[in-house]
Chains A and B, each alone.
Chain A
């Protein structure tokens, strides 16, 4: 066997996904909303199920309900639906108590555009 290391540094251009990617890096959920049928997708879609390809970008409030959850040594992941979105998405769960069925989009600690769901912000005392 020959040992051979190959180190690759990619410069990945988000292209049309730029608003969504920028949103994730800021800890925001930026969805696409079809200008024809108003279907709101998160992650966004270049072409809507209705066939239209014009969209406007909408900022969701970042609150999500957990539909299904899986846990293991590589982390906890869930299929969730963000409030205001017509589609669900898969996210990584971070610091979310196991019994919690809701969470808030959270900025990734490693500067990557990652779909991370954390605990809901604590309510301000009255």
Chain B
């Protein structure tokens, strides 16, 4: 007699059990981080949140496993997939990609950024829909107006892309510049905000 005597557990049963665990863990506030994925026109996005709000948005190319491990190391390992709990956040992304200029306010938790990078995220949140600013212009709005390179780093390490619009910062020479989701994604997002629809 071996374990092969028992058929593998029905995936539907395991799904139902997991949903119960999500509900119990939420009731008990037992989670450091909860997350889900969302299908979007720029690929599958991972959305991770704490009790305070969305703390991380990751592009598919960053790798789900690597992103979750980094969240475990930096926030805490009590991490669970909780799709239903993040339905609201998922709707925000749906609305954004459908061309909504200003989807409802999404609670965010910026704990993954500190110091000057956190300050830059604050300035980024003031850059309006459809606007484009240069790294130098954004630097001029901070407490270190000459720190153009540091502003570039802050944008490149933005834990909340799309929600905190680092894609609206482009190079002074007109090139779009680097983007965590890939430069082609940045071009498409800028086009979406300029025309109201996302180019293929």
Interaction A to B = no
